[in-house]
């Protein structure tokens, strides 16, 4: 069965509720105060069926002080039934309600000229002409206008036929590749059931027993039971008026304006980037820092205009804007909103949300807001590419992109696949995989080459830069958890190489100039030839007529490469010399020895003998026992 939601709109006392009752047999005024005063105060609901079509009515109040409630009711409707009394014609709330449903993106509907029995034909014709003039230039231009009388029944059958015809043309709801989403417009308690919420289901499908989350608070629950117009259902889908019995929550845990969704990576925000239309009838231009009230779905939030791509925005103009919210709101690209001023109260603007997670633009860059891609499905590749690019080297997961767009992951597999195939986007091999713009990695490779050159500049010889230290110098903080992945990517691209945890120039195991290579061989030979009477680095520098800092750097390099060994932090001995000492001790043929005997055997001073014995202990060749050393054997 197809489902279409029709919302009423129109001035107070023009007969919206009576008309819905005449069409459906259901009285939408349920509150005692509504019965007593004869006016609609809160949202009312009714339905009718025709073949495989089920039409859900949302009846809204017409009083000027209840426009916020009317906007809540207009959220999620597929078409509008504009109600104009023939004896009064177009009134202030007629115009405001029409602007609201237009700003909410409602594509059209029908007009009922009510109380037709109270006027003559000339007056009826005049009222119809006024309505046609009102609708001219709006999406409702050409909408059927049907004279009716709920009291006599005149035109009711005709209006019902028109609504069925219009509803059959309504665009299909988003059920595939979307999570379940429902905007809460009522919260109450039922005896024996507990907390129940009602609202218009906007996306997806939900089965009884499914897990749900109430946002923006993030409270977890379960859809214990589902009802549509009082009938229990096992499953509901987008486009229906749905009541959900929420398990484990009280009425204090849910409010009008909340949303019930399937669990997922959905995040609320306090900054919206929007396409904004300032009504031609707005009392004055709009500028940054102006305090406003934002209405989206069934909620209203104090807000402030923070950025405008064009400022000031003149009445009748459009701009891209960023709106700061007083509290978090869950919304997605394509959602509609209305702006009202708190004092004097009036509806003055509205539009579409483009992005709920774009950082705030600097004022000097505000004009660039107009460059944002469209949110239409055909533009998703460009939209996703822009999000991936803006995520920088921190990269983003598929789940993160889907959560930002408000879809299930399979919905974006195809556009992401095209971006990867085109080479514009790279997939990083982590779990879960992350996506990064190709040109971001290209820039990183250029930056890495330059940074490595600067780090090694002035050094004749270097084992390289510690990989973690180097990664921290070229990567932004959000990308640091991916340091190993990026270093490997840079190695693969030939921007650098990695040897023993050190970053070195591509294709090398170390950094070495021709002069450095010459000095390295000379220094190593000096230490090898010196045996157990090694020179200090200062003596080496004097012998080779080299800068002491250069010699220190080369000695440190030879230590890291295992060619020299630093004993007790000050003595440098060639590794092969120490290896000869090891072999000699093992071939000595004694079980233990005194320090004096060790000094005499190798011709050492005590100043050098003690560090060498410490090295033998660390290598498990000997074991200190008081003043003697026990010979253990080979290392390991």
E strand residue ranges, 230-317 = 231-233, 235-237, 241-246, 259-261, 269-278, 291-296, 299-308
> Looking at 11, 14, 17, 355, which residue is catalytic?
17
The CA distance from 61 to 73, in Å, is 9
3-state secondary structure 57-108: EEECCCCHHHHHHHHHHHCCCCEEEEEEECCCCCCHHHHHHHHHHHHCCCCC
Residues shown for the chain: 636
| Interatomic CA distance for residues 8 and 284, integer angstroms | 29
Show the tokens assigned to 130. Answer: 């006024």
Six-digit token string for 192: 């024996």
The active-site residue, picked from 63, 357, 367, 599, is: 63
- Pair 69, 42: CB distance under 8 Å: yes
CA-closest candidate to residue 357, choices 398, 385, 391, 407 = 391
16 as an active site residue: the answer is: yes
Map tokens 């510690």 to a residue.
466
Catalytic residue among 13, 87, 210, 253: 13
Closest CA to 109 of 69, 74, 85, 64: 74
Residues 351 and 554: their CA atoms lie apart, in Å, by: 67
Q: Which two tokens stand for residue 614?
A: 């410490």
Which of the residues 11, 16, 21, 227 is marked catalytic? 16
Q: What is d(CA 98, CA 100) in angstroms, rounded to the nearest whole number?
A: 5
Burial of 531 (0-12, 13-18, 19+ CB in 10 A): middle
b or e along 173-209 (b: 16 or more beta carbons within 10 Å of the residue's beta carbon)? Answer: bbeeebbbbbbbbbbeeeeeebbbbbbbbbbbbbebe
Partners of 349 in beta bridges:
278, 339
Nearest to 48 by CA among 109, 98, 1: 1
The rounded distance, in Å, linking the Cα atoms of 296 and 278 is 16
Q: Whose structure tokens read 């934002």?
A: 294
Catalytic status, residue 8: no
Torsion angle of the four alpha carbons 315, 319, 324, 325, in this order, in degrees rounded to the nearest 10:
60
63 is catalytic: yes
Task: Return the residue matching tokens 């050409």.
Answer: 142
Q: Where are the beta strands (DSSP E) in 389-494?
A: 396-397, 425-428, 434-437, 461-462, 465-466
Q: Is the distance from CB of 430 to CB of 463 less than 8 angstroms?
A: no
Nearest residue to 486 (alpha-carbon basis) of 529, 434, 441, 438: 441
Relative to beta strand 502-504, strand 497-499 is antiparallel
Question: Which DSSP string do the residues of 373-384 spell out, in sequence order?
Answer: PP-SGGGHHHHH
Residues with a known catalytic role: 13, 16-17, 63
């Amino acid at each position: 069965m197809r489902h279409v939601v029709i919302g009423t709109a129109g001035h107070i006392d023009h007969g919206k509720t009576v008309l819905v009752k005449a069409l459906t047999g259901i009285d939408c005024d349920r509150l005692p105060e509504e019965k007593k005063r004869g006016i609609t105060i809160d949202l009312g609901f009714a339905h009718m069926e025709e073949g495989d079509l089920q039409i859900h009515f949302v009846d809204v109040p017409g009083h000027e002080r209840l426009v916020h409630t009317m906007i809540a009711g207009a959220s999620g409707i597929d078409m509008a039934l504009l109600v104009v009394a023939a004896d009064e014609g177009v009134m202030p709330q007629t115009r405001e309600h029409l602007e609201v449903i237009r700003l909410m993106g409602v594509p059209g509907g029908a007009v009922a000229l009510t109380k037709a029995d109270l006027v003559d034909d000339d007056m009826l014709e005049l009222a119809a002409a006024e309505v046609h003039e009102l609708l001219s230039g709006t999406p409702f231009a050409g909408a059927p206008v049907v004279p009716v009388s709920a009291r006599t029944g005149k035109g009711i059958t005709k209006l019902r036929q028109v609504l069925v015809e219009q509803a059959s043309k309504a665009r299909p709801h988003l059920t595939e590749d979307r999570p379940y989403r429902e905007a809460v417009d009522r919260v109450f308690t039922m005896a024996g059931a507990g907390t129940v919420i009602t609202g218009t289901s906007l996306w997806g499908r939900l089965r009884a027993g499914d897990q749900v989350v109430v946002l923006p608070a993030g409270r977890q629950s379960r859809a214990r039971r589902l009802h549509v117009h009082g009938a229990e259902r096992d499953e509901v889908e987008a486009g229906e008026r749905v009541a959900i019995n929420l398990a484990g929550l009280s009425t204090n845990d849910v409010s009008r304006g909340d949303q019930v969704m399937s669990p997922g990576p959905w995040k609320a925000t306090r900054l919206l980037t929007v396409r904004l239309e300032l009504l031609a009838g707005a009392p004055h231009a709009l500028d940054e820092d102006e305090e406003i009230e934002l209405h989206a779905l069934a909620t209203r939030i104090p807000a402030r205009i923070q950025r405008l791509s064009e400022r000031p925005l003149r009445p009748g103009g459009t701009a891209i804007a960023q709106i700061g919210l007083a509290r978090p709101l869950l919304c997605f690209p394509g959602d509609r909103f209305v702006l009202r001023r708190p004092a004097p109260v009036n509806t003055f603007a509205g539009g579409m949300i483009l992005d709920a997670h774009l950082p705030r633009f600097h004022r000097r860059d505000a004009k660039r807001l107009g460059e944002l891609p469209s949110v239409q499905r055909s533009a998703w590749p460009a939209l996703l590419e822009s999000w991936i690019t803006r995520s920088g080297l921190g990269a983003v997961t598929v789940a993160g992109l889907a959560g930002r767009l408000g879809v299930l992951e399979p919905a974006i597999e195809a556009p992401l696949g095209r971006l990867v195939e085109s080479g514009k986007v790279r997939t990083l091999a982590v779990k879960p995989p992350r996506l990064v713009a190709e040109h971001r990695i290209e820039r990183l490779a250029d930056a890495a080459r330059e940074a490595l050159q600067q780090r090694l500049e002035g050094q004749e010889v270097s084992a390289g830069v510690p990989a973690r230290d180097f990664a921290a110098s070229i990567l932004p903080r959000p990308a640091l958890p991916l340091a190993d992945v990026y270093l490997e990517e840079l190695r693969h691209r030939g921007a650098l190489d990695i040897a023993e945890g050190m970053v070195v120039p591509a294709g090398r195991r170390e950094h070495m100039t021709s002069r450095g290579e010459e000095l390295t061989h000379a220094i190593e030979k000096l230490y090898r030839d010196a045996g157990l009477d090694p020179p200090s680095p200062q003596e080496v520098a004097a012998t080779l007529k080299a800068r002491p800092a250069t010699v220190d750097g080369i000695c440190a390099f030879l230590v890291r490469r295992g060619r020299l060994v630093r004993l007790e932090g000050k003595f440098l001995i060639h590794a092969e010399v120490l290896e000869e000492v090891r072999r000699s001790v093992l071939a000595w043929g004694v079980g233990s020895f005194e320090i004096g005997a060790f000094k005499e055997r190798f011709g050492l001073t005590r100043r050098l003998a003690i560090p060498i014995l410490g090295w033998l202990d660390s290598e498990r060749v000997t074991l200190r026992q008081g003043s003697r050393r026990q010979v253990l054997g080979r290392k390991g």
